[in-house]
Chain A
Amino acid sequence: MSSTSGAHLSREFFDLIKAIGESRSKQEEDRIIAREVLTLKNKLHPWKKQTTAPSATAGAAQTNQNQHFSTKKKQKEFLVRLLYVEMLGHDASFGYVKATELAASPNIFHKRVGYLVCGACLSPEHEFRFMLVNQMQRDLNSSNVLENCAALLAVTRVITADMVPAVCGDVTKLLTHSNETVRKKAVIALHRLFQLNPEAIPAHEFVEKLRRALCDRDPAVMGASLCVIESMATHDPSPFKDLVSSLVSILKQIIEHRLPSDFDYHRMPAPWMQMAILRILAILADGDAHASSECYEVISDCLTRADVGANAGYAVVYECIRTITKVYPNPVLLDAAAESISRFIASRSHNLKYLGVTGLASIVEQHPKYAAIHQLAVVECLEDRDETLQRKTLELLYKMTNPVNVEFITDKLLSFLEATTDMFLKRDLTNKIGTIAERYAPNQEWYVRSITKLFEISGELVSPQIAHNLMTMIAEGEEDESEESNMSLRKDAVELYASLLENSTGKNMPKVLADTVSWVLGEYAYLSTEYNLSEILEYLCAFAKRRGPFALSSTRRFLISAIMKLVAQLGTCPSSAASVIDEFSKSSDTDLQQRCLEFQNLLTNASSILGTVLPVDASCEDVDAVESLSELDWFVAEARANGALPYSRPIDEEDDAEYLAGRGRVKSVQINITPYEKPKDPREYKVDLNRNAPRLTPGQGSTYEKARHSPSDSSSSFVATVPEVAPSISEPSLIVRNVAHVWGKPVPPTAPAIAPSFSLGSSQPPPTPTHGGPSSQSGYGGWGEKSSVAQ
């Protein structure tokens, strides 16, 4: 189609596009679009126009057909302009209705435009999507191939999970259509439906159809099925394991140029299909030696033939490299892959360098020896100004980490972390640093220092588990290390944190860091040789007084504990500490308040036992809880004598089993495998509704009788007893005390005094049967079906 440069467009549209094209700033563009929106709105509802047109013409416009939409062509153009408006960031929801209308047009072009706008603009919750389902069904079943295609495309964009069952069958039918374009689209559409609602299509059926599509006589359909297989194999490779041989043979045919020549691209036959197959093979043969052995030959072939010197070829080579690293290792292939990687890294093109670095990263995890020769090149890439290349090299470094180079690599990663502002990268790097530090730390001092640095830079992103591990490590130390080295570790930590505190007056500290610092200082401050206890105490107090987003209650609790421990060790309480404790004893956090008040109490009343309460370096000792506390019995006896109630133990449902076991009634926890009894015939089921009779007022009982005596109906469906029968509590009963409504029937204002007593459960003779079968007139269905009741 030759470029007509807008001759087919209306003047308005042409001007619009010209204006957009020539606009020089975002504001100008916004103005143009806003004007366009007004124009479009007026087109839609000309009778709402606010101009000075006399009402006669407005009325005329209303009675005639909307002349702006007299031709479908104009409607189509309206929609394209709508698309423009939305594309440039303005809302055009007033026109969505027109889009759904146009999707019903018999002109295939207009239909496609209608579907296009709907698919692009309607949000997933929009109710118009439902309006299209009918139209899509019609188009799916049409005999016109183009309409089928249009509908299949719409299916992938417009359908949501609850609409899947409506179109599922029609799409499945199209899988066997005679036209290959339709089949190709049907494969993808069905996959989309499966993605939205996996229950609507049974998985094994879908896999069956997929396999048939793979063997389709048309390569395009086969190509489409490859995408779907790749997607599904990523989630679960097991249904496709036996496809390895078919895929290998397909790949062979492709690289031997057996496909029609128009599948070639720059002398490479169907490169994207090759890449897809390689990826699928990587997934299926991962960890599977037998499957991998089937692939080796074809991968090697592919690698050799892909070397044509064009980008398409390099892309296939890269995919081969990735596949080689994922399948069961084969030394010949690995060498070949390593050689290709070297060529990539040495290349001058940044894109190829990128591929080389990524390829190296994937190979080096399992086979670190290949990394050695490239060290210089890797460092070069790290220093490169290209940010993407730097990031990829960081990933490579991360994979290359071993106990020898961990310090260097951690330093590099930390420096990058400091420099970046991208949140995704920060989170990624934080996780990476945490992992390698824990895994490869050469010694504990280094670990403490690195983790502290990590906390400082990106503490908010660190998982609290790491902080906890750090504290545990400091407290317990290494088992095989001597006590002195543990102590020196703690001393180092203390010096580090004390200096941190000292220098942190201006900056904010992330929570994990603050917690760790406080705890360590509280426990081990006495070990420090550079700072004395009172100095550290001062720093802690100054820190505690800080306000701001980092002054969390949980951090303050750590601080207060630390301050208390230090005061205990010092023996005296300096004024700064006292003022801090005073301040926090009025805190809104009850935990904090409690600690402060307890501490104040201890200080004033029992300062001698401070040492026992807050012992030095006892964080690892267990605290024995004394259950009986017999020393306090006198207190209890006194209180009881004054009328206090005995302690009633709260019943904790989760501990029921233990509780009952303790009480001698052990619940068995065996699974009951006997089948339940068959439900009894309701006619045999004797129900005594008034079992709780003593609690009922006399009038209540009559409610049922009243219902029983409901007009024209002597066939009561439920029974009542006069409340003389003593209740027997053997089955769970319905407490009907103060029931105002009986299944919808209002309570009678006065209670009738007499009522014949009726009971199925009692020994009185049953009422004469008045009806043959079960009937339910009043609320209680067929309960107490009396006629053929056996007693």
Chain B
Amino acid sequence: MPIAFILMVNKQGQTRLASYYQWMNMVERVALESEIIRKCLSRSELQCSFVEYRGFKVIYRRYASLFFIVGTTPESSTDGSKKVYENTTNELGMLEFIHTMVETMDRWAGSICELDIMYQLEQVHFLLDEMVMNGYIVETNKSNILRPLDLLEREAKKDESLFNR
């Protein structure tokens, strides 16, 4: 059920945003990203939006030139017993979550595009942080998500203009 990573990768395989909720070192990440995008690219429009990759359940959706990819893992055991749980992710639910994400970004940026994500990378991260925390979906209510972001930006602007820092 918990999300292991959220990626936004374009058709050429360039990563535009990567948020990992499970630590992976640089080499693993790069390998994972390139392999997953290759897998997603090789699938046609008509096929499922769900793939299994290396034990992750991967749900992806394509918006224009950008792929939104979410990878989930099963619950891991806390007491070190290494018990293996089943991955109970609701795939269609996750697909719709991706759509919610895009809708929220749309509302925030007034029609989101790939370039917007690139120029305001940190703010997109903040937006994502409002929705997903520790790999769990905590908020899908758009007003609840955008309110703290507005507050944040207003505070930042205030600060900047006053002290010119």
Which residues of A are interface residues toward B (Cβ below 8 A)?
1-6, 9, 17, 20-21, 23-24, 26, 29, 71-73, 80, 83-84, 86-89, 91, 106-110, 112-113, 116, 120, 123-124, 146, 149, 153, 156, 181, 184-185, 188-189, 191-192, 194-195, 198, 220, 223-224, 227-228, 230-231, 234-235, 262-263, 265-266, 270-272, 275, 279, 311-312, 314-316, 318-319, 322, 350-355, 385-389, 391, 424-425
Which listed residue, A106, A109, A146, A388, touches B51 by the CB 8 Å rule? Answer: A388
Residue of B nearest to A197 (CB): B78
Contact count A vs B, C-beta below 8 Å:
209
Residue of A nearest to B34 (CB): A26
Q: Please provide the chain B residues from 17 to 50 with a CB less than 8 Å away from any CB of chain A in the complex.
A: 17-20, 23, 25-26, 29-30, 43, 46-50
- The answer to whether residues A3 and B109 also contact, given A188-B133, A262-B141 and a CB cut-off of 8 A, is yes
Known pairs A227-B137, A311-B96 / 14 extra A-B pairs, C-beta < 8 Å = A1-B108, A24-B12, A88-B14, A109-B155, A109-B159, A113-B122, A231-B1, A234-B85, A235-B75, A262-B141, A266-B96, A272-B137, A388-B52, A425-B52
B119 pairs with A17, CB closer than 8 A: yes
Which residues of B are interface residues toward A (Cβ below 8 A)?
1-2, 12-15, 17-20, 23, 25-26, 29-30, 43, 46-52, 54-55, 75, 77-79, 85, 88, 90-93, 95-97, 99-100, 108-111, 113-116, 118-119, 121-123, 125-126, 129, 133-134, 136-144, 147-148, 151-153, 155-156, 159-160, 164-165
A389 pairs with B48, CB closer than 8 A: yes
B93 pairs with A271, CB closer than 8 A: yes
Chain A residues with CB below 8 A from B43, complex form: 386
A557 CA to B125 CA in the complex, in Å?
Answer: 61
Residue of A nearest to B19 (CB): A120
Residue of B nearest to A259 (CB): B141
Residue of A nearest to B7 (CB): A87
A612 CA to B52 CA in the complex, in Å?
Answer: 57
A315 CA to B98 CA in the complex, in Å?
Answer: 13
A344 CA to B130 CA in the complex, in Å?
Answer: 33
A354 pairs with B26, CB closer than 8 A: no
Residue of A nearest to B85 (CB): A234
B13 pairs with A26, CB closer than 8 A: yes
Chain B residues with CB below 8 A from A388, complex form: 47-48, 50-52
A to B CB contacts below 8 Å, 27 in the list: A1-B153, A3-B116, A20-B14, A73-B160, A88-B14, A89-B26, A89-B29, A89-B30, A107-B156, A110-B156, A116-B129, A146-B148, A146-B155, A181-B144, A189-B134, A220-B141, A262-B143, A263-B141, A265-B96, A270-B140, A271-B93, A311-B99, A318-B93, A351-B49, A387-B51, A389-B47, A425-B52
Residue of A nearest to B20 (CB): A120
B47 pairs with A350, CB closer than 8 A: yes
B116 pairs with A184, CB closer than 8 A: no
A351 pairs with B155, CB closer than 8 A: no
A195 CA to B133 CA in the complex, in Å?
Answer: 14
A60 CA to B152 CA in the complex, in Å?
Answer: 37
A228 CA to B95 CA in the complex, in Å?
Answer: 21
Closest Cβ of chain B to A30, distance in Å, is 11
Residue of B nearest to A425 (CB): B52
Closest Cβ of chain A to B87, distance in Å, is 11
Residue of A nearest to B99 (CB): A311
A697 CA to B119 CA in the complex, in Å?
Answer: 85
Residue of B nearest to A21 (CB): B118
Chain A residues with CB below 8 A from B165, complex form: 71-73, 107
Q: Which 7 A/B pairs are nearest by Cβ-Cβ distance? A: A109-B156, A227-B136, A315-B92, A315-B93, A386-B47, A89-B30, A6-B119
- The answer to whether residues A108 and B121 also contact, given A156-B134, A231-B75, A388-B50 and a CB cut-off of 8 A, is no
Closest Cβ of chain A to B159, distance in Å, is 5
Chain B residues with CB below 8 A from A1, complex form: 108-110, 123, 153
Closest Cβ of chain B to A712, distance in Å, is 56
Which listed residue, B115, B153, B159, touches A21 by the CB 8 Å rule? Answer: B115
- The answer to whether residues A87 and B122 also contact, given A123-B23, A220-B144, A311-B92 and a CB cut-off of 8 A, is no
- The answer to whether residues A275 and B138 also contact, given A29-B14, A350-B46 and a CB cut-off of 8 A, is no
Chain B residues with CB below 8 A from A272, complex form: 93, 97, 137, 140
- The answer to whether residues A3 and B110 also contact, given A89-B26, A146-B155 and a CB cut-off of 8 A, is yes
Closest Cβ of chain A to B46, distance in Å, is 6
Residue of B nearest to A198 (CB): B78
Chain B residues with CB below 8 A from A195, complex form: 78
Chain B residues with CB below 8 A from A189, complex form: 133-134
B96 pairs with A220, CB closer than 8 A: no
- The answer to whether residues A20 and B144 also contact, given A311-B95, A351-B48 and a CB cut-off of 8 A, is no
B55 pairs with A424, CB closer than 8 A: yes
A149 pairs with B79, CB closer than 8 A: no
B133 pairs with A80, CB closer than 8 A: no
A312 pairs with B96, CB closer than 8 A: yes
B153 pairs with A109, CB closer than 8 A: yes
- The answer to whether residues A355 and B92 also contact, given A231-B1, A263-B141 and a CB cut-off of 8 A, is yes
Chain B residues with CB below 8 A from A120, complex form: 19-20
A123 pairs with B25, CB closer than 8 A: yes
A116 pairs with B125, CB closer than 8 A: yes
